[in-house]
């Protein structure tokens, strides 16, 4: 059965000016063979002397580049339309003298020798890396391998946006930091570490929270933006700023045992909003602080992001644009999902509705959720109040609604453990005549438990504000925090 | 021969100046006739290069497809592409040659120190071996 092949304007002189021809073939390879058999002069424009498809010739089956399908082995049938699509390229003859022409010292040549001996990188590629500027948003779990590998590989200008302080709980995965860095600004510690790894590069730090006010100004001066953040408002903000400025966004995210990697570039493929048009309701998808994350996972995901950055800068290989890689560490499986550009995407679609940065906290429903939480208004008690109560009375029932594995980490003396999910079944263990104080890690789950108990008829029940973390901060600093 | 109306020439020069030190690129729509190519419109396109934009440009396959679709929608022909050479003469490079397609006119504009200068047009020879300069004429519109 013949398949319809669309011919681009410049090749029509070789197909008797036909825009479309019908060619027999079950695979793309057969089609191209039969096409160039019928129109012999086409061959030299499609293939180079060694018989390889010329680098600027793309073949599409319907809307997909065959590189994203099975290449020449891609099966075709009479219902498919195959298009030959050139990409147009060109440029000036030799590197023109621009300010700051790249040169390398003897030390740099030694340092980069494993790159330089690969023809795919070589001096030309290494010069591209040195000329490149990459902005990392976040210096945490993903930022650790990203920063260290990008610095080591010789990215000439590396920007870092982070306003956090190194905490003990970071050290399990944020390998940029040493135990002695705890309490120091992450930015300061990361800058020291990265310039220690490679003194030949330029590192610029921005100790600020990325916001709709500063994002465009921060991003404007960089070639590539890398998203190493862990929350939805910032993720949408990074995406939108990149789309508006026309910059690639190398995306990674991690949660518990799973990671995701992609490259969003609205000029060449989908953006984050094409993939996730709406944020999940607040609280539905827990952050790493709430749900945990396996220590090595950010090392893998962040390293994959670093690789994608190098490929973009070098212009080598096949970028993750239009593909989402999902990594499951427990099964040790990588899955790849094809992503399409959404023509109705509110920012990169055909009729964009978002033309400037918006309020991303609002967009993700966070103030609204806090308002609901505030209105829920269960009675609360501060940790100081609980301390006083315990000191004065023996009739206080401290109910811990966390999970058993959290109980194993740290617990309040004299407390009783009933995980939130078990509470309806074990409510008979509580004495309504006593003062009940409910706590969890930080106060959110215990608010739900308190609300449930009030509904079940308990009257002397209160939620411990800030949970066991607040207790460790303000009452008993000997307790570990997690 | 390629004939460019004044406004197309001005549009290319303006685009080259605005994009300086990066290379600007765009598409030429019009009609091909026995006496040459008659350009009706020059439309800017996105230089999708991530790096080296001061000496390289690329129009992605999807942008190219859109340009073809636009041409066939408006009953015009894609006649070729223009690009600027910032601080470099208006002659095609080896790189231009390797990436060239037959039939198309490649209009090159030199932009020296931010100011548009000379403009020339080239077509690929039949054996792909070289570029041949074609006469570029400006016509009052």
The alpha carbon torsion through A348, A349, A355, A359 (nearest 10 deg) reads -70
Residues of B in contact with A55 (CB under 8 A): 99
pLDDT at B82 (0 to 100)? 95
A117-175 pLDDT, tens digit each: 998 899 989 999 999 999 999 999 999 999 999 999 999 999 999 999 999 999 999 99
Give the helix/strand (H/E) hosting A196.
helix A186-197
Residues A340 and A305 in one domain: yes
The mean pLDDT of B56-68, rounded to a whole number, is: 88
Residues A81 and A214 in one domain: no
- Retrieve residue A458's tokens: 């308990």
- Compute the nearest-CA separation of A86 from chain B (Å): 6
* A274 contacts chain B (CB < 8 A): no
pLDDT at A99 (0 to 100)? 34
Which one-letter DSSP state was computed for residue A58? E
d(CA A27, CA A413): 71
Peptide bond into A180 cis (omega under 30): no
Which one-letter DSSP state was computed for residue A321? B
d(CA A470, CA A464): 9
Asked if A443 and A465 touch (Cβ cutoff 8 Å), the reply is yes
Choose between A473 and B99: higher pLDDT: A473
* Last residue within a domain, chosen from A369, A391, A415: A369
Q: Which residue of B has its CA nearest to A10?
A: B103
> Would you place residue A93 in the very low, low, confident or very high pLDDT band (cuts 50, 70, 90)?
low
d(CA A454, CA A139): 43
How many beta-carbon pairs under 8 angstroms link A with B?
Answer: 129
pLDDT at B100 (0 to 100)? 86
Q: Which residue of B has its CA nearest to A83?
A: B65
Q: How many CB atoms lie under 10 A from the CB of residue B115? A: 11
Residue A201 phi/psi, 5° resolution? -110, 165
A214-223 pLDDT, tens digit each: 999 899 889 9
Asked if B107 and B80 touch (Cβ cutoff 8 Å), the reply is yes
- Identify which of B57, B51, B41 has the alpha carbon closest to the alpha carbon of residue B109: B57
pLDDT at A283 (0 to 100)? 65
Q: Roughly what angle, to the nearest 10 degrees, separates helices A122-131 and A297-314? A: 110
The mean pLDDT of A281-297, rounded to a whole number, is: 76
Residues A341 and A385 in one domain: no
Q: Is residue A246 part of a domain?
A: yes
Choose between A330 and A98: higher pLDDT: A330
The domain spans of chain B are: 2-139
Residues A160 and A78 in one domain: no
* Residue A80: partners with Cβ closer than 8 Å, 6 or more residues away: A3, A4, A61, A62
Q: Is residue A411 part of a domain?
A: yes
Please report the beta strands in A190-305, taking only residues with DSSP state E, as ranges in sequence order.
Answer: 202-206, 224-227, 249-255, 258-264
The verdict on a CB contact (< 8 Å) between B64 and A8 is yes
d(CA A95, CA B73): 39
Q: Is residue A444 part of a domain?
A: yes
d(CA A306, CA A472): 38
Cα angle B29, B33, B36 (rounded to 5 degrees) comes to 80
- The ipTM, to two decimals, is 0.86
Q: How buried is residue A107: exposed, middle or buried, by Cβ count under 10 Å (0-12/13-18/19+)?
A: exposed
A38-56 pLDDT, tens digit each: 999 888 888 887 788 887 7
Q: Is A9 helix (H, G, I), strand (E, B) or coil?
A: helix
The owner of tokens 């208004």 is: A377
A398-449 pLDDT, tens digit each: 999 999 999 999 999 999 999 998 999 998 899 888 899 999 998 888 988 9
Residues A262 and A383 in one domain: no
Residues A47 and A144 in one domain: no
Please report, for the domain that includes residue A242, its CATH number: 3.40.50.720
Chain B residues with a Cβ under 8 Å from any Cβ in chain A: 21, 23, 25, 46, 48-52, 54-62, 64-65, 68, 71-72, 77-78, 81, 83, 85-88, 91-96, 99-104, 106, 128
Residues A296 and A340 in one domain: yes
The verdict on a CB contact (< 8 Å) between A90 and B55 is no
Q: Which of A271, A288, A345, A364 is catalytic?
A: A288
CA B91 distance to own-chain centroid: 12
Residues A363 and A403 in one domain: no
Give the helix/strand (H/E) hosting A468.
helix A467-474
Give the helix/strand (H/E) hosting A6.
strand A2-6
Residues A441 and A462 in one domain: yes
> Would you place residue A455 in the very low, low, confident or very high pLDDT band (cuts 50, 70, 90)?
confident
Please report, for the domain that includes residue A82, its CATH number: 3.10.20.30
The domain of A144 spans 106-369
Residues A172 and A312 in one domain: yes
The owner of tokens 């966070």 is: A366
> Would you place residue A95 in the very low, low, confident or very high pLDDT band (cuts 50, 70, 90)?
very low
Q: Which of B16, B30, B50, B128 to mutate to test the interface with A (most CBs of A within 10 A)?
A: B50
Q: How many domains is chain A partitioned into structurally? A: 3
d(CA A296, CA A300): 7
Q: Is residue A480 part of a domain?
A: no
d(CA A384, CA A445): 20
CA B86 distance to own-chain centroid: 14
The mean pLDDT of A26-38, rounded to a whole number, is: 93
d(CA A298, CA A255): 9
pTM of the model: 0.55
A364-405 pLDDT, tens digit each: 877 776 666 665 678 899 999 999 999 988 889 999 999 999
B2-139 homologous superfamily: Cytidine Deaminase, domain 2 (3.40.140.10)
Please report, for the domain that includes residue A389, its CATH number: 3.40.250.10
For residue B19, is pLDDT > 80? yes
Residues A388 and A361 in one domain: no
d(CA A406, CA A94): 63
* Own/partner pairs, A56-60, CB within 8 angstroms, 24+ separation: A56/A86, A56/A87, A56/A88, A56/A89, A56/B99, A56/B101, A57/A84, A57/A85, A57/A86, A58/A84, A58/A85, A58/A86, A58/A87, A58/B61, A59/A28, A59/A32, A59/A83, A59/A84, A59/A85, A60/A84, A60/A85, A60/B61, A60/B65
Q: Nearest by CB to B103, from A13, A65, A224: name it.
A: A13
pLDDT at A284 (0 to 100)? 65
Residues A151 and A235 in one domain: yes
The owner of tokens 């560490």 is: A329
* Residue A442: partners with Cβ closer than 8 Å, 6 or more residues away: A466, A467, A469, A470
Give the helix/strand (H/E) hosting A343.
none
For residue A94, is pLDDT > 70? no
Question: Is position A345 annotated as part of the catalytic site?
Answer: no
pLDDT at A97 (0 to 100)? 29
| Average pLDDT of chain B, as a whole number | 89
B80-134 pLDDT, tens digit each: 999 998 888 888 877 788 788 999 999 999 998 889 999 999 998 887 878 888 9
Q: Is residue A405 part of a domain?
A: yes
């Amino acid at each position: 059965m013949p398949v319809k092949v669309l011919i681009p304007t410049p090749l029509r002189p070789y197909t008797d000016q036909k825009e479309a021809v019908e060619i027999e073939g079950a695979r793309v390879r057969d089609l191209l063979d039969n096409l160039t058999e019928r129109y012999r002069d086409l061959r030299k424009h499609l293939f180079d002397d060694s018989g390889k498809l010329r680098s600027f010739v793309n073949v599409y089956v319907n809307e997909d580049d065959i590189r994203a399908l099975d290449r020449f082995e891609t099966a075709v049938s009479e219902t498919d339309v195959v298009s030959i699509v050139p990409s147009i390229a060109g440029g000036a003859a030799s590197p023109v003298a621009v300010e700051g022409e790249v040169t390398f010292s003897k030390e740099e040549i030694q340092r980069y020798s494993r790159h330089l001996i690969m023809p795919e990188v070589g001096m030309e590629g290494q010069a591209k890396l040195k000329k490149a500027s990459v902005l990392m948003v976040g210096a945490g779990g993903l930022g650790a391998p990203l920063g260290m590998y990008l610095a080591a590989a010789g990215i000439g200008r590396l920007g870092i946006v982070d306003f956090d302080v190194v905490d003990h709980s970071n050290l399990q995965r944020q390998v940029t930091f040493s135990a002695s860095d705890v309490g120091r600004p992450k930015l300061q510690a990361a800058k020291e570490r990265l310039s220690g790894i490679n003194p030949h590069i330029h590192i610029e730090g921005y100790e600020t929270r990325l916001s709709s006010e500063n994002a465009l100004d921060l991003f404007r001066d960089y070639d590539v933006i890398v998203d190493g953040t862990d929350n939805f408002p910032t993720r949408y903000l990074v995406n939108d700023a990149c789309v508006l400025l026309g910059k690639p966004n190398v995306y990674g995210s991690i949660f518990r045992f799973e990671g995701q990697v992609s490259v969003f570039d609205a000029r060449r493929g989908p953006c984050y909003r094409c993939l996730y048009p709406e944020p999940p309701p607040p609280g539905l998808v827990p952050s790493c602080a709430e749900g945990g994350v396996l220590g090595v996972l950010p090392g893998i995901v962040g390293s994959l992001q670093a690789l994608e950055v190098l490929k973009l800068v070098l212009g080598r290989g096949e970028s993750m644009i239009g593909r989402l890689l999902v990594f499951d560490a427990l099964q040790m499986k990588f899955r790849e999902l094809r992503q399409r550009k959404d023509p109705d995407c509110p920012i990169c679609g055909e009729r964009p509705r978002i033309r400037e940065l918006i309020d991303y906290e609002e967009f993700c429903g966070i103030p609204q959720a806090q308002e609901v939480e505030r209105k829920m208004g269960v009675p609360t008690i501060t940790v100081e109040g609980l301390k006083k109560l315990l000191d004065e009375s023996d009739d206080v029932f401290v109910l811990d609604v966390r999970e058993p594995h959290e109980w194993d980490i740290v617990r309040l003396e004299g407390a009783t453990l009933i995980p939130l999910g078990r509470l309806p079944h074990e409510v008979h263990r509580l004495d309504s005549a006593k003062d009940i104080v409910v706590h969890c890690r930080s106060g959110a789950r215990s608010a739900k438990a308190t609300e449930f108990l009030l509904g079940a008829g308990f009257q002397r029940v209160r939620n411990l504000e800030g949970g066991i973390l607040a207790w460790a901060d303000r009452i008993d600093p000997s307790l570990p925090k997690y | 021969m390629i004939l460019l109306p004044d406004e197309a020439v001005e549009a290319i020069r303006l685009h080259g100046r605005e994009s300086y030190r990066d290379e600007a690129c765009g598409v030429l729509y019009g009609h091909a006739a026995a006496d040459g190519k008659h350009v009706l419109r020059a439309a800017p396109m996105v230089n999708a290069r991530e790096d080296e934009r001061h000496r390289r440009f690329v129009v992605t396959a999807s942008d190219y497809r859109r340009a073809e679709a636009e041409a066939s929608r408006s009953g015009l022909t894609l006649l070729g592409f223009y690009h600027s050479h910032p601080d470099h003469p208006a002659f095609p490079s080896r790189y231009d040659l390797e990436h060239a397609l037959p039939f198309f006119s490649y209009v090159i504009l030199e932009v020296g120190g931010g100011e548009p200068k000379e403009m020339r047009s080239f077509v690929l020879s039949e054996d792909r071996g070289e570029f041949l300069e074609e006469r570029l004429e400006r016509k009052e519109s």
